[in-house]
Amino acid sequence: MFFLKQRNFDMITLMSYFTDLLIVNLFTYFLPINADQPLLFHLYLTLGWLTISVKNKFYEVHRHTKVPQILGKLFTQFFFFFVALYTFIGIFKQPGMSRLALGQYFFFVSLAISIAKFAGYYLLGKYREKVKGNLRNVVVIGKNKTTDQLITVFQRNTGYGYNFRRQFSSKSSSFGIEDCLEYIKDNNIDEIYCSVSELNNEQLSRFVDFADNNLKTLKFIPDNKNIFSKKLKFEYYDYVPVLSLRDIPLHNPINAFIKRSFDIVFSILVILGLLSWLTPILALIIRMESKGPIFFRQVRYGIDNREIYCYKIRSMRPNVQSDQKWATKDDPRITRVGKFIRRTSIDELPQFYNVLFGTMSVVGPRPHPLVLTDDLSKKIDKFMVRHFVKPGITGLAQVKGERGEIEKDSDGLNRVRFDIFYIENWSLFLDLKIVVQTVVNALQGEEKAY
């Protein structure tokens, strides 16, 4: 019973540590690495792996952790492990070590640990789903759209191991905190989820005190109407706790370096592999249909609200409204070839030059013309948060269908929600996922691609 109910399943984490360290050390015997001091090498590998794991929070995989987050942890872990591995040769003067064998060792260790990581993640999910072990009994306090969505997540994702027991509506006339707390004690509830918008300070304090005194996990559900998807960062200034409004991963120098490296490599591949031969063909077709330049240049806002030139292949007849008016369905300004290149997003390809020069990124919030940006920033709260990072050729909002003309305020609001989520939850694998989805959408065609 203890195995089924243990609170944090610490045994799984310990087993993961042991398995990975076993792989890291055993694989050295299968390849001719030729370390002059084997004992020192094993000690270096063990301490190096543990240090990187702690810094990377490699083993902090929660029941609600998603696959892209695990992939991100694996990438970061192996990147630094690779650096540490070859650093050993220089630090301890090991000229006899085989660089090739060391590379093979790294490949097999990375593969084995990745398989072990995902196997454990999958099997633990199935264990919770089928055997009903390692479950967390939960209650939800509050009745609104967000709490209902959370309950749906609990019920739909059985592999997470959340056993939803009951929802209490604070708006109900029969709602009483003491009855609620009594139910939590009598039914062995592990976690309490409170909607902040439905409880006053006194009620929230009562839940906090109860959770502290009864060893219950208390979590708060924010009011999304007011704070969107804020990812608060908790820090200590000496002994004083401080909450930062949002933590932006791309402000971390390592993350910024990874994203910039990806941008440079990807943009060069597109420019050499696609634009080099496609541009002359499109130039000929565009000139045959309408007079004017092949490329269209427009001033837009980039990172930190700095003005940048955004390049596109011209898809409209030259007009004076291009900076002030969205393209609409059946827009008379769009040429025949323009309809095709806009539907397939080919008109955006010259922006890979922007990416190469560093004014844009492959993935990020889409930049808008200056006049439209100024207008939207007045209508939509937190619209300017999008400019904390470089604008992108494609973005999370675009692959979720929020592209093109903003016909009503809710369109802009949804776009900002997705953009803020992307900014606060960036990872290289999220970028890759968005790029793949963009290609799929371009091939399938999109409803608002006009």
- What pLDDT band is residue 363 in, cutting at 50, 70 and 90? very high
What is the residue range of 323's domain? Answer: 253-444
Which one of 82, 97, 131 terminates a domain?
Answer: 131
CA dist 252 and 424 (Å) reads 12
Mark whether 116 and 147 lie in a shared domain: no
Residue 233 inside a domain? The answer is no
* Total count of domains within the chain: 3
Mark whether 80 and 216 lie in a shared domain: no
Mark whether 126 and 175 lie in a shared domain: no
Among 30-44, 190-204, 211-225, 402-416, the least confident range: 402-416
Mark whether 115 and 170 lie in a shared domain: no
Residue 166 inside a domain? The answer is yes
In 3D space, the residue among 261, 258, 260, 266 whose CA is nearest the CA of residue 80 turns out to be 258
CA dist 362 and 260 (Å) reads 9
Q: 182: which 2 tokens?
A: 């009594």
CA dist 107 and 308 (Å) reads 42
CA dist 256 and 31 (Å) reads 35
Mean per-residue pLDDT for 97-113?
92
Q: What integer pLDDT is reported at residue 328 of this predicted model?
A: 60
On whether the CB atoms of residues 435 and 79 are closer than 8 A, the answer is no
Maximum Cα interatomic distance, the chain, rounded to a whole number of Å: 78
CA dist 211 and 218 (Å) reads 6
Residue 244 inside a domain? The answer is no
Q: Three-state DSSP class for 326?
A: coil
Mark whether 101 and 150 lie in a shared domain: no
pLDDT, tens digit, 9 for 90 and up, residues 280-327: 888 888 888 777 788 888 889 898 888 999 998 887 776 666 655 656
pLDDT, tens digit, 9 for 90 and up, residues 193-251: 888 888 888 888 888 888 878 878 888 887 655 544 455 666 655 555 565 656 678 88
Here the CATH number for the domain that contains residue 206 is 3.40.50.10700
To the nearest whole number, what is the mean pLDDT of the chain?
A: 83
Residue 236 inside a domain? The answer is no
Tell me which amino acid residue 248 is.
Answer: I
Tell me which amino acid residue 286 is.
Answer: I
Residue 434 has pLDDT above 90, yes or no: yes
Mark whether 274 and 162 lie in a shared domain: no
Which one of 75, 105, 131 terminates a domain?
Answer: 131
Provide the β-strand partners of residue 233.
244
- E strand spans, 142-278: 162-168, 191-195, 217-221, 233-237, 240-244
Packing angle, helices 99-126 and 67-91, rounded to 10: 150
Q: What integer pLDDT is reported at residue 352 of this predicted model?
A: 94
Provide the β-strand partners of residue 255.
none
CA dist 191 and 137 (Å) reads 6
Residue 294 inside a domain? The answer is yes
Which one of 131, 159, 192 terminates a domain?
Answer: 131
Residue 243 inside a domain? The answer is no
% the chain with pLDDT above 70: 86
Mark whether 37 and 73 lie in a shared domain: yes
Mark whether 383 and 399 lie in a shared domain: yes
